[in-house]
Amino acid sequence: MRSLTLFAAYLSSIFTTAVADSNLSTPLSSHQILPDNFKPPEVFKNANLLRNINLEKGYVRETVNVVIENIDANEQDTYYIPFKAEAIGNVGGLEVKDKKDPEKPAFRSEVVEYDPYSPTQFYRVTLPVPLAPSAQQTLAISYHVLSALAPLPAAINQQDKQYLHYTFSTYWPSAYLTEKQKTKVKFSTADVPGFTAEPLREGKTFTYGPFEKTPAGVEQEASVRYESTRPVIHATLLERDIEISQWGGNLATEERYWLTNKGAHLSGHFSRVEWARTQHYNPPTSALRMLTLPLQVGSLNPYFTDDIGNVSTSRFRSNIREANLELKPRYPLFGGWNYSFKVGWDASLGGFLRKLKNGDGYVLRVPFLEGPKMSEGISYEKVDLRVILPEGAT
């Protein structure tokens, strides 16, 4: 048998990614253990900082554009981003890029661990090119904060508007002195009945600041309560299997979701009369009614089942430009309700696998996530991806 070498061999073992790594007790091997009394050296200052908090989806997305300046005498290449210990487990997808050159791959960034009981934990960013003394560089830092939104009130009636509550610091928590900073918060509607810390209101956007000369580690708490009558979809677990069959020339994907709606619970009980009555004019609701999965063009044979069999309420629209799989759960998913299901589909292997020019190996290129594309967004607590190679692959 010809041996198969896969370039993406690191995918072959079952591994768990930390989209939101909630179990810091089992550190990845790349974690650096730092001494207990660690404090980032004051070698940088943030010359100018603009922070955008996007609250349009069911999770928080923050983008920070910061001009950093080396104030040390030597070249520096290590930049620390602090988070609160209770929050760092909910931070996911942290990515640091050069703002001037966004085409370049993201900088190396990782969680460093020292004292697990310390109230502050750090992400460490390593600049590819050390920054010369008093030189400046613009970083684009972006990350998600999951499980930070809470419905307030926590229980509403079936047709009521849903309000979410978010608490944050108007200053970006930085390990360095910040000369000048500004925080913008963006909502999906202009209905924001509750807020603190006197922002400047412009329609759907709030602006805090600008603030001058904020020292390292200083925070000013602010909170907003805003309307978001949309489901807060959260996948407690996603298991994703990608099975390669070179015999059949087939790439079979199967995803198993455990969804929950983290929105406001129903204060009474579910009323079918009311639900049926409002279905005609399709009002905004905090219940999840439908999921849309944009599959790769050319996907075939989709199926949608759950623990007790086929779910008949799905529709697959496939043509040469798109392949959309529309799934309707068996029942509308109100706040606090769960739904677990399984979807799968086939695709021709040709589009994903290519042979290496030298040697016997193959390269597989598949997306890490192909989840439902929802305007309200979907957050994953844990994703378990498994690539099943053909029998006898090495």
Contacting positions for other proteins (CB under 8 A) = 237, 239, 256, 258, 268-273, 276, 306-313, 330-331, 336-340, 342, 384
User: For other proteins, which is the closer residue by CB, 246 or 340?
Assistant: 340
Name which of 213 and 330 has its Cβ closer to other proteins: 330
Give 229 or 261: the residue with its C-beta nearer to other proteins. 261
Question: Whose CA is closest to 151, among 26, 272, 266, 7?
Answer: 266
Phi then psi for residue 235, to 5 deg, are -100, 110
Nearest distance, CB of residue 272 and other proteins, angstroms: 4
Comparison of 237 and 300: residue with beta carbon closer to other proteins: 237
Of 32 and 310, the one with the shorter C-beta distance to other proteins is: 310
Query: Shortest gap between Cβ of 204 and other proteins (angstroms)?
Result: 34
CB of 24 to other proteins, least distance (A): 18
User: With helix as H, strand as E and coil as C, how does 319-339 read?
Assistant: CCCCEEEEECCCCCECECCEE
Residue among 131, 190, 347, 146 at smallest CA distance from 254: 347
CB atoms within 10 A of CB 83: 19
Nearest distance in Å: CB 308, other proteins? 4
Amino acid occupying residue 250: N
- Give the nearest distance from C-beta 346 to other proteins in angstroms: 16
Q: Which residues pair with 60 in a beta bridge?
A: 145
Rg (CA), the chain: 24
DSSP-assigned letters across all residues of 339-356: EEEEEEEEEEGGGTEEE-
Residue (134 or 338) nearer to other proteins, CB = 338
Shortest Cβ 273–other proteins spacing (Å): 5
CB-CB neighbours of 355 under 10 Å = 10
